[in-house]
Amino acid sequence: MRTSEYMFGDRHWILEKMPPAWRDNHKELIRSVSAEQRRIAALGTKTKTSTKPCPVPIPQDVEESDDEVKKTEAPSVDKGGNIRCHTCSSPVYKTPTCILDHFFGHYEKLYGVRRYTCDDCGFETNSSTIPRRCRGHPNHTRTDHLTEFPADCIFTTSRAVFDDPYAVLQWLPEEWKEDLITRIRGIPPKTAMKKALMVDPPDTDENCELALDERMCERVLRRLTSLEKQVPKAEEMKRKVCVCVIVWREVMFVYLLVVLPDVLQRIAERRTTINLKISIYYAHLI
């Protein structure tokens, strides 16, 4: 299926072209793929019902084993170093800003809400860049609704875009992850663990059920812990880069003060000698 996506742009296209014998031996796989396609089609036809950021969460598949979570692959990267979206198969530039803008574009298609809202004119957008209509106006401040989005909706969109429900954690702001950890660790696990990753549900939908359980909370904590362990490595790499830059500047400074003047002087002397020889040659001809 990964080869089908790489060659034809659709991971399910090859299933329709396989021989009947192969299809008979993989009926369960084809049945699950058909169900997944129907679910994605139903999500694509969902209409926007409200302008306020109060999306209804889609239940996650919480029955996968811990071994499957450990074997989860990183988002696929093409030859140009760009991350490839598993939903629309388009390349996304490998920068946190571009990735999150593309990610919340798919979030809007699933849940009908956008990340940013202008406080003055009410303009909504998913782009981190300030819109042209709001530039140069100090009163046009905007509100980031990321903290109001349910965590399980974020993970559902991450699964659809990156084929990994927790891949988006490495690009989300640190404030959102710290708030998520606080909500998980600050509530007794047996009494309100299912509400730890969820904002207060809207009053208009009292029958909205939460799809997260204790196992998912533990998985999120493990992923956040692993990301926290990567921070010292990144800081050490940044320190080494700074040291290299300082050394390079010192070398260039010494070169400009000591080596370069001597080189320029030798070039000038060589030019003088050549000009003198040319003058002698022409004088001899005369």
* pLDDT tens profile 174-212: 888 777 777 666 554 444 444 444 444 444 444 444 444
pLDDT in tens, 114-154: 888 888 788 888 887 777 777 767 777 888 888 888 888 88
Task: Yes or no: say if 212 and 62 are a contact pair by the CB < 8 Å rule.
Answer: yes
Predicted confidence band of residue 55 (pLDDT cuts 50, 70, 90): very low
- Return the biggest CA–CA distance within the chain: 109
Q: In 163-208, where does DSSP find H-type helix?
A: 174-185, 189-192
| C-alpha dihedral, 17 to 14 to 69 to 230, nearest 10° | 170
- Stretch 84-96: mean pLDDT, rounded? 79
Rg of the chain on CA atoms, in Å: 29
Per-residue pLDDT tens digits for 35-47: 666 565 555 544 3
High-pLDDT (> 90) share of the chain, %: 0
Between the alpha carbon of residue 60 and those of residues 86, 149, 181, the distances in Å are 18, 15, 19
Beta-carbon count within 10 A of 240 CB: 10
CA distance 32 to 35: 5
Confidence of residue 56 (pLDDT cuts 50, 70, 90): very low
Q: How confident is the model at residue 34, as a pLDDT?
A: 63
Angstrom distance (rounded) from CA 19 to CA 6: 21
Residue 217 confidence (pLDDT) above 60:
yes
What does the pLDDT read at residue 53? Answer: 46
The two structure tokens encoding residue 229:
């362990």
Q: Which of 9, 181, 2 is nearest to 87 (CA)?
A: 9
Which pLDDT value is given to residue 78?
53
Measure the CA–CA gap between 9 and 209, rounded to whole angstroms.
35
CA distance between the termini of the chain: 86
